[in-house]
Amino acid sequence: MFVFMFSYCLFHLDNCYILNVLLYRLQDVGKSKAEVAAKRVMERVSGVSIVPHFCRIEDKEIDFYNQFQIIVLGLDSIEARSYINSVACGFLEYDSDDKPIPETVKPMVDGGTEGFKGHSRVIIPGTTPCFECNIWLFPPQVKFPLCTLAETPRTAAHCIEYAHLIKWNEVHPGKPFDADDADHMQWIYSEALKRAELFGISGVTYPFTQGVVKNIIPAIASTNAIVSAACALEALKLISGCSKTVSNYLTYNGLDGTHINVSEFVRDKDCLVCGPGTLVELDMSSTLSEFIKMLEEHPKLLMSRASVTHEGNNLYMQSPEVLEQMTRPNLSVPMSELLKGAACATVHVSGMSENNGRKVSSLRKLRVAFKGVEDEASTMDTTV
């Protein structure tokens, strides 16, 4: 089974056939994209079963994603991609030789477009770079200094953001701005237009105001078709084994002709999301305090003043003071109890570590295993 994800559009297919169809009509404006897409495809293709889900991706339980063989992404933000990447990599388990256990690998195909540009990439956790390994590929978000907006606007975007970020709160204190409210957007446009006229700046239009406030990037149908076809092809390769997948990042640029390039990026073996982490063995009776002391003496870590988290829960925090006081009682509790009796568990620690003779702040992923306790995953038959 596949699970396809878009912004507020999530659906999975059982007997899956992929084709290019025009899914949406004018009368579909305001409806759930997932529900409309599912209905339209099932009308066009006999034998296909699609279950739409109209919700945020974070609203689904983690086990929901574990039922699928492949996850195909068409998300519109770095945050959403990072979330699903962490979910898929969270299913990944390693054997005693730090090799991925095949049954736990959840491949992902990620696609995205921006105007005439687009990309398609294949992520096989534990083998290829995951999203976090190459997050540097994404440029930083454009942000305007408030002093520029307030004192020396130079572009139409400056005038729009002034109305959006400054003027709205001055005129409507305590009233949240709703980007989907037409009256709110019209007010921002009017104020931005006044600001632009005051400083002799041109280019403020209602569509441009919507684009700046809602960070809208124009969608080009041909780009979307090419990138979605590339993603569908990679998903077909993964599920059928008919050919090698792309290695591992395909970019498309249709601005000046057609340019397609494939780049092979390198996986970060120390990645905090998809990496195996450093193995640390403990006695069943070892307390959290003893574990933190061990980190100071571990030759690969040499980490002092460590804070420890497990599955998003703070086991012990060095700061701020209020969290230190709240988590201090855990110091005397055995790690086996804090990790809920698991034979092997992943924890993240942050603190100060040695780097070329200097103390630097660092974050590490650790696999904690208890001596004398067998992990079910390590005894699995991994013969293919």
Question: Could you report the per-residue pLDDT of 25-41, keeping only the tens digit for each?
Answer: 888 888 888 899 889 88
What pLDDT, on the 0 to 100 scale, is given for residue 25? 84
Give the CA count within 13 Å in the CB-facing half-sphere of 229.
9
- Distance between CA atoms of 117 and 120, rounded to whole angstroms? 11
Describe the crossing of helices 182-198 and 206-213 by its angle, rounded to 10 degrees.
Answer: 110
What pLDDT, on the 0 to 100 scale, is given for residue 15? 40
Using DSSP bridges, classify how beta strands 108-114 and 278-282 pair: parallel, antiparallel or unpaired.
Answer: unpaired
What pLDDT, on the 0 to 100 scale, is given for residue 18? 35
Inter-residue contact 37 to 52 (CB < 8 Å)? yes
Burial 48-76 (b: 16+ CB within 10 A, else e): bebebbeeebeeeeeeebeebebbbbbbe
DSSP letter at 294 equals H
229, two tokens: 């076809």
Inter-residue contact 108 to 73 (CB < 8 Å)? yes
Inter-residue contact 218 to 117 (CB < 8 Å)? no
What pLDDT, on the 0 to 100 scale, is given for residue 379? 41
> Please, which pLDDT band fits residue 374 given cuts at 50, 70 and 90?
low
- Distance between CA atoms of 2 and 4, rounded to whole angstroms? 6
- Verify whether residue 55 is a known catalytic residue: no
What pLDDT, on the 0 to 100 scale, is given for residue 373? 72
Which is more confidently placed, 203 or 256? 203
What's the whole-number average pLDDT of the chain?
84
- Distance between CA atoms of 79 and 131, rounded to whole angstroms? 11
Which is more confidently placed, 45 or 17? 45
- Choosing from 55, 133, 147, 242, the catalytic residue is 147
- What integer is the mean pLDDT of 297-325? 88
Question: Above 90 in pLDDT, residue 380?
Answer: no
Which is more confidently placed, 8 or 332? 332
pTM of the full structure: 0.68
Angle at 69 between CA 66 and CA 75, to 5 degrees: 80
